[in-house]
Amino acid sequence: MGTDCVKPFIDDCKKYGKGIFILVKTSNPSSGELQDLKLQNNKEVYAQVAELVEKWGEDLRGEYGYSSVAAVVGATYPEQLSQIREIAPHTYFLIPGYGAQGGKASDIALGFDKNGLGGIVNASRSLMCAYKSDRWKDQFKEEDYAKATKAEALRMKEELNQAIFN
């Protein structure tokens, strides 16, 4: 949409102490139809948007150096996730695609800094439907979905921590 469309939201972030997420490289399979297109400057659309997000957030960096102007960057494209982390070192990432969509912990680790900061991992289906998964279906019945969800969340937390900090 460009700076003029995003600026009012950034101004509200400043005014109200809030944050926004801007789509940069989404996790869905057809994201490349638009986000991977090459521009005249030979950059992909996602790379150009990542540069803009980093720039838009310069005045909104907090205590740990990350901006409240954040980016959605899918775990299902680890090469791009790594590239975008280089382009936008002060940008917080919302990282969808972990679990059911195929993103692995080792992929997600590319979105974090050396201190384990810089990202929020999203896993919806793999948590909501944990009781149906091969890993948990013999331990939990449908009525125990909450227990299965907790077990899967704790397993994911351990897996992610190992990938990020090792």
Q: In the predicted model, what is the mean pLDDT of residues 66-77?
A: 96
Residue ranges per structural domain of the chain: 3-123, 124-166
In angstroms, how far is the first alpha carbon of the chain from the final one?
38
Please tell us whether the domain made up of 3-123 is placed in CATH 3.30.470.20: no
CB atoms within 10 A of CB 44: 17
Q: Choose between 139 and 100: higher pLDDT.
A: 139
Instruction: Report the pLDDT averaged over residues 135-146.
Output: 95
| DSSP annotation string for 32-54 | HHHHT-B-TTS-BHHHHHHHHHH
Residue range 6-62, pLDDT digits in tens: 999 999 999 999 999 999 999 999 999 999 999 999 999 999 999 999 999 999 999
Q: Is the dihedral of CA 23, 25, 30, 35 positive or negative?
A: positive
Residues 90-125, buried b or exposed e (16+ Cβ, 10 A)?
bbbbbbbbbbebebbbebbbbbbeeeeebbebbbee
* pLDDT surpassing 90 at residue 71: yes
Per-residue model confidence as pLDDT tens digits over 86-120:
999 999 999 999 988 889 999 999 999 989 999 99
pLDDT at residue number 158: 97
pLDDT band at 166 (very low <50, low <70, confident <90, very high): confident
Q: What is the pLDDT of residue 99?
A: 87
Contacts of 55 (CB under 8 A, 6+ apart): none
